[in-house]
């Protein structure tokens, strides 16, 4: 009996890894291929960070940290960005979000308004670090550009999170 339980648990873990890999690949392709269609003055929502937050709140800090690192690395590679910048920032967000993880409490977190506070601060934290590291330091209007992208991208991604979570959990309210 114990061997079957261990085997089924291992199978579930493998299926979850495959599921997360497929979803990650789809979101990365969607983000990189079609985000220009919904871009507002060069600002696009970061759908990948919403996936990282979801995984961390659903499966915990360790799974979230590991997933965030590999998701960020894949996104850096596919976007031909500075390799490691998304891996770093998304891993930091998973670490931050992991403090709100409670075993078997995911749906309770989703049902109340605490999820929106977690998402907003996680997105803001991500963008503050990401755009600080990626800003062109020789640009004359450094701070105005930084705050444009920091506030703009945070608000836009948060608006998408509201839509995504509303349609995903509407049946639970």
Q: What is the pLDDT of residues 55-105, one digit of tens each?
A: 998 898 999 999 999 999 999 999 988 889 999 999 999 999 999 887 877
How high is the pLDDT of residue 172?
Answer: 44
Residue 135 makes CB contacts below 8 A (sequence gap 6+) with: 142, 145, 146, 149
Least confident window among 7-16, 40-49, 67-76, 130-139: 130-139
pLDDT tens-digit readout, 130-172: 888 887 655 657 777 777 888 888 999 898 888 766 665 544 4
Q: How confident is the model at residue 1 (pLDDT cuts 50, 70, 90)?
A: very low
Model confidence at 5, pLDDT cuts 50, 70, 90, reads: low
| Average model confidence (pLDDT) across the chain | 84
Query: Number of C-alpha atoms within 13 angstroms, CB side, residue 128?
Result: 8
Identify which has the larger pLDDT, 3 or 78: 78
Whole-number pLDDT of residue 133: 84
Q: How far apart are CA 146 and CA 149, in angstroms?
A: 5
Query: Do 124 and 154 meet the contact criterion of CB atoms below 8 Å apart?
Result: yes
- In three-state secondary structure terms, 40 is strand
* pLDDT score at 112: 75
The pTM score is 0.84
Instruction: In whole angstroms, give the CA distance from residue 101 to residue 151.
Output: 26
Quick one: 109 exposed, middle or buried, by C-beta within 10 A (0-12, 13-18, 19+)?
middle
Q: How far apart are CA 165 and CA 167, in angstroms?
A: 6
173 or 49, which is more confident?
49
Gap between the Cα atoms of 65 and 63, Å rounded: 6
**CB-based contact 50:161 (threshold 8 Å):** yes
Radius of gyration of the chain (CA): 17
Model pLDDT, residue 169:
52
pLDDT at 173: 40
Give the residue ranges of DSSP H helices in 42-113: 47-59, 61-79, 85-98, 106-111
- For domain 2-172, the CATH class is mainly alpha
Q: How many CB atoms lie within 10 A of CB 165?
A: 16
């Amino acid at each position: 009996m114990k061997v079957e339980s261990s085997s089924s648990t291992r199978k579930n873990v493998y299926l979850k890894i495959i599921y997360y890999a497929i979803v990650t690949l789809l979101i990365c392709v969607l983000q990189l291929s079609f985000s220009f269609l919904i871009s507002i003055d060069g600002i696009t929502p970061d759908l990948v960070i919403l996936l990282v937050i979801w995984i961390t709140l659903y499966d915990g800090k360790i799974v979230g940290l590991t997933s965030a690192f590999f998701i960020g690395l894949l996104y850096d590679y596919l976007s031909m960005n500075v390799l490691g910048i998304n891996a770093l920032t998304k891993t930091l967000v998973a670490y931050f979000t992991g403090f709100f993880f409670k075993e078997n409490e995911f749906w309770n977190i989703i049902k109340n308004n605490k999820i929106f506070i977690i998402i907003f601060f996680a997105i803001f934290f991500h963008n503050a670090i990401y755009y600080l590291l990626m800003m062109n330091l020789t640009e004359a209007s450094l701070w105005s550009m930084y705050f444009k992208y920091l506030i703009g991208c945070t608000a836009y991604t948060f608006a998408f999170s509201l839509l995504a979570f509303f349609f995903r959990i509407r049946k639970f309210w």
